[in-house]
């Protein structure tokens, strides 16, 4: 439908939708958890934090929980490099997030 309205090919629209992470083919959850995976955050535990989030929520990056409450995404900089690992829950940015703190943040969401 978008391709028809904009007079683009379906391939052009598909290319844009799949390239930009904020475009989705399915609705996102009510809340989005974004975990920074840039180098500064990775150097202080972002990979382990992402693995913890996957175990805790049952979904990986780009996926939404079965109940539609939470979508987990990776980002490559939240601009909070000095306070890594950084996460964004909804519109709120958090720094120095540990697995225990992530559990508390997710508890507020769920």
Render pLDDT for 92-102 as a digit per residue (tens, 0 to 9).
Answer: 999 999 999 99
Which CA distances in Å does 65 have to 3, 45, 56, 83?
29, 24, 11, 28
Least confident of 7-11, 15-19, 82-86: 15-19
Is the pLDDT at 106 greater than 80? The verdict is yes
The domain 26-109 having CATH identifier 3.40.50.1370: the answer here is no
**pTM across the whole model:** 0.85
Using alpha carbons, select from 48, 45, 63, 54 the residue that is nearest to residue 106: 54
């Amino acid at each position: 439908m978008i391709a028809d309205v904009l007079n683009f090919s379906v391939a052009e629209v598909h290319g844009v939708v799949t390239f930009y992470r904020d475009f989705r083919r399915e609705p996102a959850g009510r809340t989005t958890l974004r975990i920074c995976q840039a180098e500064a955050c990775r150097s202080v535990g972002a990979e382990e934090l992402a693995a913890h989030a996957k175990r805790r929520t049952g979904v990986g990056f780009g996926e939404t929980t079965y109940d539609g409450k939470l979508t987990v995404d990776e980002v490559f900089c939240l601009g909070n490099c000095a306070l890594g690992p950084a996460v964004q829950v909804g519109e709120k940015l958090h720094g120095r997030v540990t697995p225990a703190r992530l559990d508390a943040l997710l508890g507020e969401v769920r």
